[in-house]
Amino acid sequence: MRRAIAVLRRLGRTVALVLLVITGSTLLVRFAPGYLSDAREMDSRYADAARFELSAEATRSHSISRMLLTEISGSLRGDFGTSRQFAVPVSELIAPRLAVSGGLLLRGIGLAWLVALVAALSSSAGRNPSLLWQTPGTVLLAIPTAALATFCLLADSGGPVLVMALLLAARDFKFLDHVLRRAWLEPHILQARAQGISTGRALVAHMLPALAPQLGALASLSVVTALSALVPVEVIFNVPGVGQLAWNAALNRDLPVLLAVMILMAVAVTGSSCVTPSTPEWKNA
């Protein structure tokens, strides 16, 4: 019964988050400067009837409630409405780009965890935090995503996967180093090592299972951080993914496409938060 209630709560939270995304994004785009204007109205290639239809479309956009109903009905149908820029169903624009962005996220997160875990294990082996391990992470945390991507592009070194992995690894390393330093000092770990159990076995058999809630929470945060870096990375490296599509939609005031991408990201964030634990260990970490 408790599990069913927990599932219903998470489902309700997801629905509420999606509705907030639709409402907030619609209001922001609707009141953005120039939203009601359309460059096609100034194009002589369009006939008077076509320009009249464009003007009528802009007039209908004055109604916030109508815009919200249109976007919500498009989301419920599954096609997310019709793109204002390309005049095709939004689902046809997003579907081929999901695999590109998904592959980029998976490779970036996987490489980031590998680098962060290896660095944290090496760093936590010492008694005191070493500047040799702490400085690179601190420097990377201070560099904006777009700046790091631009630097790699101009230097012709690295790519979107490397940029995303470095940004995630810098954030994950701080948490992993702190958690592992505490874990090495736990009584059962000290007892195991005193009895001659190897470091690798103590790590795999004792430490990692005990740290599973914290690692799950960190994994969900990694997904959120990767999604926030997706747009600048794909735009700068010209990756034909969902992030680049969202950027183009924002520039062209293509509300259906922008909302569809925001809904997908909101669902991904809510889904990743399902692994976030509610144990006292996570609060103390």
Give residue-wise pLDDT tens across range 144-177.
Answer: 888 888 888 888 877 899 999 999 998 898 888 8
Mean pLDDT (the chain) is 78
d(CA 13, CA 116) in angstroms, rounded, equals: 31
* 16 falls within a domain: no
CB-CB neighbours of 240 under 10 Å? 12
pLDDT at 255 over 70: yes
- Percent of the chain residues topping a pLDDT of 70: 76
The whole-model pTM stands at: 0.75
Within a domain: 273: no
| CA gap 225, 220 in Å, rounded | 9
Range of the domain at 207: 96-253
How many independent structural domains does the chain possess?
Answer: 1
Q: Is 89 helix (H, G, I), strand (E, B) or coil?
A: strand
Q: Tokens 């144990």 belong to which residue? A: 279
Sign (positive or negative) of CA dihedral 87, 78, 274, 21: positive
pLDDT value at 279 more than 50: no
| CA 12/CA 16 separation, integer angstroms | 6
- Could you tell me if residue 184 is inside a domain? yes
Q: What is the pLDDT of residue 244?
A: 93
Sign of CA dihedral 215, 218, 220, 223: negative
- Residue 26 lies inside a defined structural domain of this protein: no
Is 9 inside a domain boundary? Answer: no
pLDDT per residue as tens digits for the range 20-38? 877 777 777 667 665 655 5
> What is the band of 242 on the pLDDT scale with cuts at 50, 70, 90?
very high
Please give the pLDDT value at position 71: 67
Please name every residue paired with 82 in a beta bridge, in sequence order, or none if there are none: 89
Instruction: Provide the CB-side half-sphere exposure for 8 (13 A, CA).
Output: 5
Chain-centroid distance, C-alpha 278: 22
Confidence class of residue 278 from pLDDT cuts 50, 70 and 90? very low
Per-residue pLDDT at 126: 63
Cβ-Cβ contacts under 8 Å for 18 (sequence gap 6 or more): 75, 263, 266, 267
Nearest to 257 by CA among 269, 248, 266, 265: 248
Is 4 contained in some domain? no
Question: Which tens digits make up the pLDDT trace of 210-231?
Answer: 888 888 888 888 888 899 899 9
CA 222, CA 226: separation in Å to the nearest integer?
A: 6
Q: What is the pLDDT of residue 45?
A: 57
Residue 221 lies in a domain: yes
Residue pLDDT, tens place only, 99-144? 999 999 999 999 999 999 888 888 877 666 666 777 887 888 888 8
Q: Give domain status of residue 243, yes or no.
A: yes
